[in-house]
Structure 1
Amino acid sequence: MTSTKATSPAKNGRKTRNTSSPEDQEQSILAAAGAEFTEVGVRRANMDEVAARAGVSRSTLYRRFPNKEALLLAVANDLYERGMRRLELAVVGRGPADAVVEAFAEGAVMISEDPLMRRLVLTDSEMKGITAAVTSLFIDMVTDRVAATLRTAGAKMPDDELRQSVELHVRLVISFLEVPASDEDRQSPAAVRELAAKYLAPMIW
C-alpha cells in the first residue's frame, strides 16, 4: 500500500504532517514562511508557526533553516528568482529599449500585486537591517541577470557600458521603491512605463 501525502489543510487552518519528498517539503516551508511574513511581518514571524503551516516538524524546519534570518533570506531568494523569471518572460521577443520599458512596467505590477513582495520591499522596516549586508551583492546579481537579458534582446553596447547602465537602473529602482513618489498615480504601471521610455530606455542601445 502506498502512503498518502498528508498536505491538505487541517480544520484549524494548519497542514497535517507533510510526508512529501525533501524538495517538496522545502517548497512547503518557503510557501508557509512567505504567508507568515506577509501576514505578521518579519519581527513577529514565528518559526513554530511556519513549521505548523508547512506541516513539518520543528526539527525538519531547523535542519534546513537554523534561524529566522536564514529562512527569510531563502524566501527572499525564492521571490527574487520568481520575479526575475517573470521579467525575463515579459521581454521575450522585444528589442533592448522596449525590454527596459516592459521590465520596469512588469516590475511595478509585481510590486502592486504580490503582497509578500510589497511587504518585504516597501513596508517592513525590519528588512532594512537584515538585508543591509547583502544589498551590494543583490545589486550585482540583479545587474548581471538584467544585463544578460538585454544582451539576449539585442543590446550592442560594450559589456562594461551595458553593465554600468543597468546598475544605474537597478540603483534607481531601489531608491524609487524605498521612497515612493508622493503622487500615487506616478507609481502605476502606466506611469512607470512612460518614465522608463523617456529616461531609461535611451541609455540602452
Structure 2
Amino acid sequence: MKPEVRDDDPLFAAALVEFERYGIRRANVDDIAKRAGVSRSTFYRHFTGKDDILNQLVMRYVDQFFGALQATVTGLGPGEAIIQAFVAGISLVRQVPLFVSILESEPDLMVRMNAVAEGTAIVDISAKVASTLRQAGATLSDERLREVSELLLRIAISFIAFPNGGIDVASDGQARRFAEDYLAPLIDNGGGNHH
C-alpha cells in the first residue's frame, strides 16, 4: 500500500526513502533535497520544512488507506463495517514501512504530528469515517455520526500508536473480538443515550 509517488514528484519519493531508511528524526531537509536532485531552496519553495513534507506524505497514505478500507466495507451494514474497518485498519498500518518506522522508533511523533496539524487531520479523517459509515447505512444524525466517527478514529489511533497494554489486538481475531464487543455497539445502538 505504498503511496503512488509519481516520477514528477522527486521530493516525495526522496523523503519517503529518507524517512523509511533513517527514521523521522534523523532524516533532514538537506538529504531529502540531495536525494531528489534539487537545491535546498527548491525544497523550501514547495514545503515549509521536514514536518510539512512528512504530513503531506502521511496524508497521501491516509487517502489510499481509506480507499482500501472503503473497498473492504462495501456492502456491509454499519456495525460490521466498523468491525471490518478496525481489523483491516490495524493490519494495513502494520504493512506500511513509513508507519512501522514511526511507530517502532518514534511513537510520540504521532502526537506531535497531530499537534502540528492542530487537529485538522482528526476532523478531516473523521469526516471520511462518517461518510463510509453513512454509505454503509448508519442512521445516526449527522452530529452523532461525526462524534461516533471521531471516537472510533481516536480509539484506533491509540491502539496503533501505543499497542502495548492490557487489551491485545495484535491478531485479526483479537481485533475482531474487541471491535464486536466495544466498537460496533456505538453505531448499532445509536451511539448510546444522548441526554
Into which bin does the TM-score normalised by the smaller protein fall? 0.7 to 0.9
Q: Distance in 2 between matches of 1:147 and 1:32?
A: 34
Q: Distance in 2 between matches of 1:133 and 1:57?
A: 25
Which of the pair has more CA radius of gyration? 1
**Is it true that 1:200 corresponds to 2:191 in the alignment?**
no
Aligned to 1:112: 94
Q: 1:35 is matched with which residue: 10, 17, 35?
A: 17
Q: 2:133 is matched with which residue: 132, 141, 150?
A: 150
Work out the number of aligned pairs and report it.
Answer: 183
Aligned to 1:69: 51
Q: Verify the 8 A CA contact 1:101 1:197 in the aligned structure 2.
A: yes
Q: Distance in 1 between matches of 2:38 and 2:172?
A: 39
SS at match of 1:43: coil
Counterparts in 2 of 1:155 and 1:130: CA distance versus 1, 3 Å: closer
Superposition TM-score, scaled by structure 2 size: 0.81
Q: How does 1:92-171 map to 2 (within 5 A)?
A: 92-121=74-103, 123-125=105-107, 127=109, 128-134=111-117, 136-171=119-154
Aligned to 1:46: 28
Q: Distance in 1 between matches of 2:157 and 2:104?
A: 10
Q: Verify the 8 A CA contact 2:18 2:27 in the aligned structure 1.
A: yes
Q: Verify the 8 A CA contact 1:108 1:188 in the aligned structure 2.
A: no
Q: 1:177 is matched with which residue: 140, 149, 160?
A: 160
Q: Verify the 8 A CA contact 1:100 1:196 in the aligned structure 2.
A: yes
Give identity over the alignment, percent.
Answer: 36
List gaps (5 residues or longer) in structure 2: 189-195
Q: Distance in 1 between matches of 2:120 and 2:185?
A: 26
Amino acid at match of 1:177: I
